[in-house]
Amino acid sequence: MFTATTTAPVNIACIKYWGKRDTKLILPTNSSLSVTLDQDHLRSTTTSRADPTFTKDRLWLNGVEEEIKPVGRMATCIAEMKRLRKELVEKDSSAPPLSTYFVHIASFNNFPTAAGLASSASGFAALTASLAALYELPSAPTELSLIARQGSGSACRSLLGGFVAWNAGTLDSGLDSHAVQIAPETHWPDIHALICVVSDTKKGTSSTSGMQRTVETSPLLQHRIKHVVPQRMQDISAAILAKDFDRFAEITMADSNQFHAVCLDTSPPIFYMNDVSRAIIAVIEEYNRVGLLPENGGKRKAAYTYDAGPNAVIYAPAAHIKEIISMIVHFFPQQETFNDPFGLFGAAGVT
Ligand code: 2P0
């Protein structure tokens, strides 16, 4: 019996991925950049097992068996990992021929699935990492990111810690569409992420179908791809390397807002934020307006960002976290407005 267990954390994008130029290989229309949260809070844990007695590949998500569709994303990732194992065995004939055995894979999330909290990102990253461990592959995270990407685009970024860019790439093969680390988690440990769970129910429009509709119908997306994201990728990378939170926050909030504008520019429009999400934006904007006054230091103190769902992620330096939590709890008393069965509200993912 051969078995391996690994975990992979959630990542939260500051420059959003939204749109594919190749839906099979999962090649994006623009580069993106995210922060990988630390392993303690939001993560997927995946165990893979290969055994000559298994009669087919099988998968369990949170204890429930899911079908592995023959030409689906899961099957692609498994096949790609078996191909790498086969290559390894061809070089070293003493290595057991694990790629010829079927695998059983069990994955658990410690947070609500499909609530806009990037479960597919950590899920496919953990799957790829656990098969890499099972097959004892020497591959670097960037190399593995090429495979995780084919499970779910954003998954490629969860294979690396800290601040991670997914370069869109230009090749039709997708071989240059991979994740690279801009800075490790140790570079800027002062940044914290507050996850405000506004709703933990499954979202209405899946990212996969939503972004395709945007590619087909939104003129704003074309402007974003050509004229906005390339400069933002450079600017936010520079802000991260310089630990310039004010600039990091300015770009992160602008990009979240443009991503949701692009959703609204889609036909029919897609709405991911709700009234509570928008009210949190108003609170953070006001907090920053006061912070930007010369007598208060002239800098932004927090940055909100929203993915394909209503939940807010607030990035802030450690010094402001307590104040932000009291402010959010004051304006949004949890019993009344938050359904927080997982106790995630206020959980700081420190990177
Ligand atoms: C991101 N999102 O960059 C953006 C921001 C949602 C909003 O990546 O079709 O689940 O599996 O490649 O990776 C969600 O997209 O989509 C996503 P697929 P995925 O984090």
Per cent of the chain over pLDDT 70 is 93
Q: Is 0.85 exceeded by the ipTM?
A: yes
Ligand 1 pocket member 207 (CB < 6 A): yes
Q: State the pairing for strand pair 179-183/162-166.
A: antiparallel
**Same domain (yes/no): 23, 57:** yes
| Separation CA 164–CA 134 (nearest Å) | 25
Instruction: Give pLDDT, residue 242.
Output: 98
Q: Domain with 310 in it: what CATH number?
A: 3.30.70.890
Q: Look at the chain and report how many structural domains it folds into.
A: 2
Per-residue pLDDT band for 113 (boundaries 50, 70, 90) equals low
**Same domain (yes/no): 164, 208:** no
Give distance in angstroms: CA of 154 to centre of ligand 1: 5
The CA dihedral of 9, 31, 241, 123, to the nearest 10 degrees, is: 0
pLDDT tens for each residue of 292-329: 999 999 999 999 999 999 999 999 999 999 999 999 99
| Residue at 117: amino acid letter | L
Give distance in angstroms: CA of 206 to centre of ligand 1: 9
Give distance in angstroms: CA of 211 to centre of ligand 1: 8
Per-residue pLDDT band for 112 (boundaries 50, 70, 90) equals low
Q: Which of 167, 184, 201 corresponds to the end of one domain?
A: 184
State the chain's maximal CA–CA distance in angstroms.
Answer: 71
Give distance in angstroms: CA of 116 to centre of ligand 1: 9
pLDDT tens for each residue of 204-221: 889 999 999 999 999 999
Mutate to test the pocket of ligand 1, among 14, 23, 35, 152 (most ligand atoms within 8 A of CB): 152
**pLDDT for residue 339 is more than 60:** no
Per-residue pLDDT band for 33 (boundaries 50, 70, 90) equals very high
The residue nearest atom 20 of ligand 1, judged by CA position, is 13
Bridge partners of residue 4, in order along the sequence: 48
| Separation CA 288–CA 290 (nearest Å) | 5
Per cent of the chain over pLDDT 90 is 85
Instruction: Give pLDDT, residue 197.
Output: 85
pTM of the model: 0.93
Mutate to test the pocket of ligand 1, among 32, 154, 202, 208 (most ligand atoms within 8 A of CB): 154
Name residue, tokens 């267990």. 5
Q: Dig out the tokens for 96 from the structure.
A: 């057991």
**Same domain (yes/no): 241, 124:** no
Ligand 1 pocket member 248 (CB < 6 A): no
| Separation CA 335–CA 307 (nearest Å) | 24
Instruction: Give pLDDT, residue 239.
Output: 98
Give distance in angstroms: CA of 40 to centre of ligand 1: 22
Ligand 1 pocket member 76 (CB < 6 A): no
* Higher-confidence position of 114 and 59: 59
Apex CA 278: angle with CA 273 and CA 283, to 5°? 145
Name residue, tokens 């129910």. 201
Average per-residue pLDDT for the chain: 92
R_g (Cα) of the chain, nearest Å = 20
Give distance in angstroms: CA of 18 to centre of ligand 1: 6
**Same domain (yes/no): 180, 195:** no
Residue 170's domain comprises: 2-184
